[in-house]
Amino acid sequence: MIPFQAEDAIHMTVILATLTPLVAFLLIMLGTRARKNLSAGLSLGAIAISFGCSLLLLARLWNVREPLEYSTRWVALNRMEIPFGFLLDPVSLLMLSIVTLICLLVQVYSLGYMAGDPGFSRYYAFMSLFAWAMTSLVLSSSLLQLFIFWELVGLSSYLLIGFWYEKFSATQAGKKAFVMTRAGDVSFLLGLILVLVHVGNPAILEMNSLDSAGLMPSGILTFAALLIFGGIVGKSAQFPLMTWLPDAMEGPTPVSALLHSATMVAAGVYLFARLFPFFALSPTAMGIFLFIGTVSMILASTMAMVARDIKQVWAYSTISQLGFMIMGLAAGGYFAGVFHLTTHAGFKALLFLCSGVFIHTWHTNDIFELGKGGARRLKIPVIALVVAAGALAGLPPFSGFFSKEAILAALALSSHPVWLAAGLLGVFLTAYYAFRVLCILLFPPSAGEEPSGPVGGLAPAPKGSRQEGSSRTFIWPLIILAFLTLLLGFFQGPLQHFLLGEGKALLVDHGEQAGWLPFTALFLSLAGVGLAWAEFGRCGAARLSFVERIPFLRELFSRRWYLDHFYHFFVDRIVDRGFSKLFAQNDNRVIDGSIEAVSRGTLEAGRFLAFLQSGMIQYRLLVSFAVMVLLSLYFFYRDSGGF
Amino acid sequence: MIVPFGHVLMLAGMLFLLGVFCTLTRRNLVMIILGVEVMLNAAAIAFVGAALHWQSLEGQAFVLFIMAIAATEVSVGLALIVYAYRRSGSFDPSSCNLLR
Amino acid sequence: MKWMLFGPETYIFLVAFFFLILSMWRGPHSEKDHVLALALSGLGVVISLACLGAEGLLFAGAYRLDLFSQVFKVALSFGLFLIVCLCANVEEIKRRYRLEFYFFLFVCTLAMMLLVSAQHLLTILLALELSSYSLYILVTLRRDEDMGLEAGIKYFLTGIFASSIMIFGMALLYGATGAVYLQDLAQVLPEVMGTPAAVIGLLLTFGGFFFKLAVYPFHFWVADTYQGAPDQVTAYIATASKVAVIAVVIKLIAAVDQNSTYLIHVLAVLSIASMTLGNLAAMVQKDMKRLLAYSTIAHSGYVLIGILSGGTAGYASAVFYALALLVMKFTVFLVVVVLSPRGKNLEREELAGLHGRSPLLALALMVSIFSLAGIPPTIGFMGKFYVFMGAMDKGLFVLVLIAMINVVVSLYYYLLIIKAAYLGHSWETPPAVHLPQPMRWLTGALIATMMVAGFYPTPLIRLSEAVARSLM
Amino acid sequence: MPGVEIKGALSMQIEIAGFPYLSAILITCVTGLLVILLLPEERKGEIKWVSAGFSGTTLLLCVYLFFAYDKTRGGLQFVEKVPWVPSLGIQYFNAVDGFSLPNLLLTGIVFFTGVLTMWQLQERVKEFFALYFLMVLGVFGLFVSMDLFFIFVWYDVSLFPMYLLIAVWGTTRKEYAAMKLTLYLFAGSALLLPGMIYLYVHSGLNTFDITALMQPGTFTTAQQKFAFPLFYVGFGILAGVWPFHTWSPVGHAAAPHSVSMVHAGVLMKIGAFGVLRVAIFLCPEGWQYWSGVMAFLAAFGIIYGALAGLRQTDLKYVIGYSSVSHMGIVGLGLSTVSVEGLNGAVFQMFAHGIMTALLFSAVGHIYDRTHTKEIGELGGLSRVMPVASFYFILAALAGMGIPGLACFWGELVVFIAAFKVYPVRTVVALLALVVSALFMLRVVQRTFYGPPNERYAQLSDVSFSSGIPRMILAGVLLLFGLYPALLFDVIETASIPFMNGLPR
């Protein structure tokens, strides 16, 4: 470990990168809440500095192979030391750049999107808080520190989802998001404690250095890995803790773009990548991760197929893509997972931001209404949307194509072909639902042709708002992201080199890629696109998906496989009306009741005794005498050996 | 001593119990005081017997004082009872039930 | 010279005699009489204090003067003085009896003083009877004749019954041992402790004292008598009279207690019965004096714990407790006397709004009540603590535990009093209580005594220990 | 026989090192009390300023002590020893160590902020502050005392003013609550006193000096096993140990705000501290013997409090149950028989004290404005009083264990320590984290979020001056959340030597 040295330029840069958003947050909270422009300026400036620093770091350390670690003692307890520090290695640097970049873009975008909101300053404060927590999370050098920022990220997510706190559904969604991720976090904490108890100091590098295998029995190791994975499940909204993410779309759209698609939810996958060598020690655990990733991906895709809310579609898609990444990682494709994480951050943020433009313009989330409203007239957002959807569907030359291929290649090498089949199915479904949305938006039915759309179409948006919709703060982030989506795929080679280094292949040998795989995948994507076109795009299409023709499936999918019903049942019936009621009543009836009974009994006894006292004189004398006699008798009893 | 001390005690004890019995059972304030007088006399007999047993005069002195006490008791007690009778017109102890 | 040793008794006797003469000489004159009694009783305190160091034997050893007796004499004369302080306006006693009232008060105090010094069974008996008879009459003096009379009759009947039992017990004791001096008894008793006559005699003898102490099963008179007697008389019974009786019980038990487990068992049972009964019955009382009566029974139970623990520590704790009781009981009665409506008893609910009517009295009530409840830092807590220490030293853990549970139970009704004083809002707000300046000072001094002696009890504990040692 | 002669060679002489800061704290309280008593009732403003002045002085003294304590030396410092009742072995023995110091600081903070929180009080001001000072005097005394007798005395001194404080100035079912609370807590002391005297008698040392009594070998194992539960239950009642916790929600709900603050913030700590200082110090073997039961009760209390809190509809009840849950964490820490456990427990005492004081302070503000604590009647307060809401939400977040706020560290360290010893019980307790998040957020959502209620539309927010107490508390919460080492370093000066001194 290198101790802190003030003159260390890299170190200063790191501190600058993480701390400036915190400073911005504190300044806004303490001083500038009333002055909106200043708040936004502070926040933007901070994140810009942060982004600059991260680029600087990326450039400086592009060729440095050894991870750099800085840490200092923060809390030292008897046998436990909690260090605070930064770990700079390719994954964290890459992630840092993604996070700061998207943060910056989204904050710029928000300038327009959130303009006029009464909580404008608060919004930027929370954004800064998130930026601080996320960057610190990414750079954490120890698992405990990571956990701390993990929680803080969750907090900022809660605050941002419930940003419009007067809206019931928003606060409800925030609560749900926090509690569900909390459930995952508790599992994470348990795993952390387990590691801590056995290994001692949960520095990430040490955990990854494979010595932990020696320190922990393999059973415990698997158990710890699974528990930590619980945190990932919660944060990345994987099965079974997936339903909070669609609800989280109640937050402002830029928040969804930033937190709930590109960065925060990806933190789970990031943690997976971060601890990849550690997880890889337990094949059993990896198998389970693969399963959970697959289930999440398929489930979420099916849900996306029937959703009408544009943000919901992208939310399901996020879950599904995160599941896809986890599949890749769990199958051993370290690079594939991280690469998809990178590309996904770009195109998913783009998808949300584009949708945000539509939503901001027409004030509705319903894709059919947006389509009818004339979404296709907004040229730049539509083009960006097409680019992003193409990436999502895995069409070349967009970035998604390359990363998906990488993951599929990794899956192809996994133990069982079923995973690959599932992956391919996922590719098909993804392409289908992505283009379903696109087709609905771009090819609205002409009048009278609407079979199942909502009654009473939307009035065309006023000119002014459309003007606003294409204002610069909206457009530039879109353009930048679209270019990124276009280009990122071609940087696969350098990235792979950066992440893995030479001769450091992690588990999967990428040389033996099956030749038929890319073509199959591409074919499936195109099939999905074609199906979407056939059902929604072409003239005179029924605008009814094949799923919706089967009532059972439609119900199942649109009700999220009844997961929410289960949770509702669980919370309402078992926790609320079960244990909680039981305990509350236990307090009232059993504990307090018995105390009440004792006190009442005492009081009654007192009443009875007092009544006895008021007897006639001679009874009293009798009692006195009788007691004396009894006491004398006790003497004889005792004397005769009674005691 | 002709009569054994034990017999004297026995007599005293029986007399005492009789006094107690009278005190506890007779529903008449005067009889209660009488019962107590009997108890006192039982004590006096026991003292006399004990004085003889130990060949000391202190027991006799006790008896004298017990007589004095008994006299006081009767005077004070009767004063109270007569007063009470004048107010309530009864000697019944159960009429004393104002305080509770 | 020896007559100087007899100083306080002689003085009190002369004062009593003076009041007797005065009652025949002229009619009552309320205020003058009170000032006179106040001055004379105050002088009594001074004389008792002057005779504090007296030691010796009088009347052929039937009367013993030592630190023990002299301290209690000071306490008694002080108690008398305090009671006389309350007698500025004895509404409940007819004017024409006021002088007799003082006469009996002084006679009773004289008897008590004799009691604490008496060493001969006969002296003890006579002193006890003398004090009892004075009290029988004092109780009956109440203006509300039905109440006073009934209280008097009940007190009297229970009293004579108990005293005849005691006399019979003394006869048995005398028969079994042949000893009448306490010091002789102490020597002879161990040999005959196994015989029924001695043990039963002892038990029955204690009966008379238990009656005075208000210990179960001779406690029945307490509630009625307290309720029916004039407030000042009740206060006297509860404070000065109790102190003397505690002293004599300590003395008796110190003389006869030869670590007999039987005696300890009996005392423990009576102690538990007294506290439990007293505390439980007190919970449902509405009349303040009746409530305090039951609380007295409970306190007698606590004192018994100290007495039965034995040893210097045990007796010292009992002495401490007696002195503490004197102060705290008196303070409560001071409040009760001041607040009592004319000719009637004070109900608990009538305390309502006291904090507004007289903050000082409310504070005095609160401190004394907390002291009675045994909550630190008051003298009452220290007393309980001290008593429990002695008991624990004897290994009586369960007894201490039961006593503590009783303390919690008692807290309930004590808190109700405080609640009434501090919370209750009476419908028509009674006028503010006017307290003369000297009474204010007295009240303040009492509060200070209870707090200071509770927080820094060392001098008082030293005194109690010295007293207890002089007994052994 | 006690009281006859002094056995052993215990030094019974005056021993005061330097300026008696600890007595100065107590004397400040007493002086404040007397000054308040002497001021006439009508001069409410002066009474408040006097209270603020004296409580501020104690706070400064506490802060000074906290930083003046020599961490490298550790052990007992600022010792003041004066023989009090020599024949009974009672000493006026004050000292602080790493365990009491955080609590002392906590008391100072909560005391001062509590006075400021009650600034709006108009009814019977003089009596209120007099009783309040008396209560806090007891708390201070207990934390600094090293003499068993005085610990008991201070314990009761801190409790009995509570009756009037709740019964006179309280709100919901105040008389019932006051009576219940007082009897409950004194029932605890009914176990303490016998236990205390039991130890005194069996030590044979004729002293109540804890440092003398805690020497190994003073008590046999059987005696320790016997005495420990007495103290554990006796003090545990005050610490809200399940199943003796039901006084806590009722009492907290009924008490006036600053009393709730002191009560939940400090008095419950007295209970836990008593368990530590008396039960654990004097009966370490009993501690080890009973620790499993302690852990069970604590773990169950944690989840129980959280779940039972879920159904409450009164803001203060909710906080009361959360206190039960949080104090369970302290209990869990104490039950681990390890340095970490003690560290975490003491840290959690401090953190919970500040947090819950902040919660009550915020609720106090809301109640003063809206005159209701029913969650159902509130709603949308964020719009009307953003600052007040902010403080409440901050404290609620601390209660959920969000990192960056002090409670997180206490919980984390306790859970880590407990997991090593009682994995299953810890897992059960950890589930409560989810539940407590659920119920805290539920309260926040229903009270502060949602459309603003017209009834409260024209209510004023916290002004700067009346926000001071909350600002202090929030600041402390953040300070120790961001730099917990400040506190942990102090605690460790006590916990490590103590655990090292234990016979294993």
Q: How far is the alpha carbon of A608 from chain C, nearest alpha carbon, in Å?
A: 8
Q: How far is the alpha carbon of C266 from chain A, nearest alpha carbon, in Å?
A: 7
The token duo for C453 is 């002696």
Average pLDDT, chain D: 87
Give the chain B residue whose CA is nearest to the CA of A623: B24
Contact B50 C178 (CB under 8 A): yes
Q: Report pLDDT for D60.
A: 95
The token duo for A512 is 């033996």
Q: How far is the alpha carbon of C146 from chain B, nearest alpha carbon, in Å?
A: 8
Instruction: Please name the member of C411, C457, C461 whose beta carbon is closest to the beta carbon of D183.
Output: C411
CA dihedral C413, C415, C419, C422 (to 10 degrees): 130
Per residue in A186-226, pLDDT (tens digit) is 999 998 888 888 777 677 777 777 665 667 778 888 888 88
> Is a pLDDT exceeding 90 seen at residue D349?
yes
The token duo for D442 is 């539920």
Question: Considering only CB atoms, which residues of chain D are within 8 Å of chain C?
Answer: 1-4, 84-88, 127, 149, 152-153, 156-157, 160, 163-164, 167-168, 175, 178-179, 182-183, 186-187, 189-191, 193-194, 197-198, 200-201
The residue of A180, A580, A595 whose CB has the most chain D CBs within 10 angstroms, and thus the best one to mutate to test that interface, is A580
A486 and A591, same structural domain? no
Q: Up-side HSE of residue A458: CA atoms within 13 Å toward CB?
A: 22
d(CA A621, CA C318): 28
**Long-range contacts at A500-503 (CB < 8 A, ≥ 24 apart):** A500/A334, A500/A335, A501/A65, A501/A90
- D172 with D181: CB under 8 angstroms? no
Q: Which domain holds residue C117?
A: 2-471
Average pLDDT, chain C: 89
Q: What is the DSSP letter of C136?
A: H
- A162 with A41: CB under 8 angstroms? no
Contact A617 B99 (CB under 8 A): no
Q: Which of A424-438, C398-412, D392-406 has the highest mean pLDDT?
A: C398-412
User: C278 to chain A: which residues are within 8 Å by CB?
Assistant: none
Q: What is the DSSP letter of C195?
A: S
- A430 with A320: CB under 8 angstroms? yes
A531 and A398, same structural domain? yes
User: C414 to chain A: which residues are within 8 Å by CB?
Assistant: none
Mean pLDDT of the C170-180 span: 89
User: A621 to chain B: which residues are within 8 Å by CB?
Assistant: 23-24
Q: Report pLDDT for A211.
A: 63
Q: Report pLDDT for C171.
A: 92
The one-letter code for the residue type at D423 is P
Mean pLDDT of the D464-493 span: 88
The token duo for A628 is 């004396």
Q: Report pLDDT for A3.
A: 52
Q: Report pLDDT for D289.
A: 92
Strand partners, D147: D209
> Is a pLDDT exceeding 80 seen at residue D459?
no
Residue C25, classified by CB atoms within 10 Å of its CB into exposed (0-12), middle (13-18) or buried (19+), is: exposed
Q: Do chains D and B touch, with touching meaning 3 or more CB–CB pairs less than 8 Å apart?
A: no
d(CA A531, CA A544): 11
Residue D160, classified by CB atoms within 10 Å of its CB into exposed (0-12), middle (13-18) or buried (19+), is: buried
Task: Give the three-class secondary structure for B19.
Answer: helix
Nearest Cα to Cα of residue D105 among D229, D269, D222, D252: D269
Per residue in C347-392, pLDDT (tens digit) is 888 888 888 888 899 999 999 999 999 988 899 999 999 999 989 8
The one-letter code for the residue type at C239 is T
> Is a pLDDT exceeding 70 seen at residue D327?
yes
CATH code assigned to B5-89: 1.10.287.3510
- D364 with D258: CB under 8 angstroms? yes
Query: Is A94 part of a structural domain of the chain?
Result: no
User: C145 to chain B: which residues are within 8 Å by CB?
Assistant: 87
A636 and A501, same structural domain? no
Per residue in D99-118, pLDDT (tens digit) is 999 999 999 999 999 998 88
User: B96 to chain A: which residues are within 8 Å by CB?
Assistant: 616-617
Q: Report pLDDT for A498.
A: 80
> Is a pLDDT exceeding 50 seen at residue B42?
yes
The one-letter code for the residue type at C240 is A
Contact C164 B36 (CB under 8 A): yes
Per residue in D481-496, pLDDT (tens digit) is 888 888 988 998 998 8
User: D409 to chain A: which residues are within 8 Å by CB?
Assistant: 75
C411 close contact with D: CB closer than 8 A: yes
Residue A553, classified by CB atoms within 10 Å of its CB into exposed (0-12), middle (13-18) or buried (19+), is: middle
Q: Which domain holds residue A620?
A: 566-642
Question: Which chains contact B through at least 3 pairs of Cβ atoms less than 8 Å apart?
Answer: A, C
One DSSP character per residue, C62-88 reads TEEESHHHHHHHHHHHHHHHHHHHGGG
Instruction: Please name the member of A609, A613, A617 whose beta carbon is closest to the beta carbon of C157.
Output: A617
C89's CB contacts (< 8 A; 6+ apart) are: C30
Mean pLDDT of the D449-455 span: 79
A600 and A529, same structural domain? no
Query: Is A224 part of a structural domain of the chain?
Result: no
- Alpha carbon B39 to its chain centroid, in Å, reads 4
Q: Report pLDDT for A454.
A: 40
Q: Report pLDDT for C300.
A: 93
Count CB neighbours of A5 within 10 A. 10
Contact B32 C137 (CB under 8 A): no
Query: In chain A, positions 573-612, which contact chain C (CB-CB < 8 Å)?
Result: 599, 602-603, 605-607, 609-610
A23 close contact with D: CB closer than 8 A: no
Buried/exposed code over D244-261 (b: 16+ C-beta within 10 A; e: otherwise): bbbbbbbbbbbbbbbbbb
> Is a pLDDT exceeding 70 seen at residue C97?
yes
The one-letter code for the residue type at A358 is F
- D353 with D476: CB under 8 angstroms? no
Contact A614 B97 (CB under 8 A): yes
Residue C26, classified by CB atoms within 10 Å of its CB into exposed (0-12), middle (13-18) or buried (19+), is: exposed
Per residue in C430-448, pLDDT (tens digit) is 677 788 888 999 999 999 9
Instruction: Please name the member of A74, A78, A190 whose beta carbon is closest to the beta carbon of D492.
Output: A78
Domain ranges of chain D: 15-498
Overall residue count recorded for chain D in this entry: 504
Q: Report pLDDT for D124.
A: 86
B26 close contact with C: CB closer than 8 A: no
Query: Is A172 part of a structural domain of the chain?
Result: no
C462 close contact with D: CB closer than 8 A: yes
Contact A632 C217 (CB under 8 A): no
* Parts of chain A with a pLDDT under 70: 1-7, 78-79, 201, 210-214, 375, 445-471, 501-514, 540-543, 639-643
Instruction: Please name the member of A614, A618, A622 whose beta carbon is closest to the beta carbon of B93.
Output: A618
Give the chain C residue whose CA is nearest to the CA of B8: C175
Predicted TM-score (pTM) of the model is: 0.90
Inter-CA distances, A223 with A217, A229, A287, A330, C280, Å: 10, 10, 13, 16, 59
> Is a pLDDT exceeding 50 seen at residue D95?
yes
Q: How far is the alpha carbon of B66 from chain C, nearest alpha carbon, in Å?
A: 8
User: C316 to chain D: which residues are within 8 Å by CB?
Assistant: 3
Nearest Cα to Cα of residue A126 among A156, A155, A153: A156
Contact C157 A621 (CB under 8 A): yes
Contact A631 C157 (CB under 8 A): no
C360 close contact with A: CB closer than 8 A: no
A477 and A347, same structural domain? yes
Instruction: Please name the member of A151, A586, A599 whose beta carbon is closest to the beta carbon of D402.
Output: A151
Q: What is the DSSP letter of C144?
A: S
A575 and A618, same structural domain? yes
Q: Report pLDDT for A431.
A: 87
A347's CB contacts (< 8 A; 6+ apart) are: A387, A388, A391, A392, A398, A399, A400, A481, A485
- Alpha carbon B99 to its chain centroid, in Å, reads 26
> Is a pLDDT exceeding 60 seen at residue C468?
yes
- A60 with A93: CB under 8 angstroms? no
The 3-state secondary structure of A5-16, one letter per residue: CCCCHHHHHHHH
Per residue in D207-244, pLDDT (tens digit) is 899 988 888 888 899 999 999 999 999 999 998 888 88
Contact A610 C281 (CB under 8 A): yes
The ipTM is 0.87
Q: What is the DSSP letter of A444?
A: P
Q: What is the DSSP letter of C434?
A: P
Contact B20 A614 (CB under 8 A): no
Question: Considering only CB atoms, which residues of chain A are within 8 Å of chain B?
Answer: 614, 616-618, 621-622, 625
Query: Is A27 part of a structural domain of the chain?
Result: no
Continuous segment of H or E residues that includes residue D184: helix D174-203
Per residue in D197-207, pLDDT (tens digit) is 999 999 888 88
Nearest Cα to Cα of residue B65 among C126, A58, C158: C126
**Long-range contacts at A145-149 (CB < 8 A, ≥ 24 apart):** A145/A82, A145/A83, A145/A84, A145/A85, A146/A204, A146/A271, A146/A274, A147/A185, A147/A188, A147/A189, A147/A192, A147/A231, A147/D403, A148/D403, A148/D404, A148/D408, A149/D403
Residue A451, classified by CB atoms within 10 Å of its CB into exposed (0-12), middle (13-18) or buried (19+), is: exposed
Question: Which chains contact C through at least 3 pairs of Cβ atoms less than 8 Å apart?
Answer: A, B, D
Question: Which chains contact D through at least 3 pairs of Cβ atoms less than 8 Å apart?
Answer: A, C
Distinct helix (H) and strand (E) counts, chain A: 29, 2
Angle at A71 between CA A65 and CA A74, to 5 degrees: 160
Instruction: Please name the member of C153, C218, C269 whose beta carbon is closest to the beta carbon of A624.
Output: C218
Total of domains in chain C: 1
- C253 with C197: CB under 8 angstroms? no
Task: Give the three-class secondary structure for A78.
Answer: coil
Contact C200 A632 (CB under 8 A): yes
The one-letter code for the residue type at B37 is E
Q: Report pLDDT for B15.
A: 94
Continuous segment of H or E residues that includes residue A439: helix A417-442
Q: Report pLDDT for C441.
A: 93
> Is a pLDDT exceeding 60 seen at residue D10?
no
The token duo for C196 is 């029924």
Count CB neighbours of C349 within 10 A. 12
Give me the percent of chain D exceeding a pLDDT of 70: 97
Nearest Cα to Cα of residue A317 among A264, A385, A419, A246: A246
Count CB neighbours of D372 within 10 A. 16
- Alpha carbon A309 to its chain centroid, in Å, reads 20
A631 and A482, same structural domain? no
Give the chain D residue whose CA is nearest to the CA of C384: D193
The one-letter code for the residue type at C78 is F
Contact C392 D1 (CB under 8 A): no
- C346 with C465: CB under 8 angstroms? no
Contact C175 B5 (CB under 8 A): yes
Q: Report pLDDT for A491.
A: 80
Give me the percent of chain C exceeding a pLDDT of 70: 97
Question: Which chains contact A through at least 3 pairs of Cβ atoms less than 8 Å apart?
Answer: B, C, D
- D213 with D224: CB under 8 angstroms? no
Q: How far is the alpha carbon of A587 from chain C, nearest alpha carbon, in Å?
A: 22
Q: Which of C50-54, C256-260, D52-56 has the lowest mean pLDDT?
A: C256-260
Contact B93 C174 (CB under 8 A): no
The token duo for D110 is 């909560």
Q: What are phi and psi of C403, to 5 degrees?
A: -60, -40
Nearest Cα to Cα of residue C270 among C245, C303, C296: C303
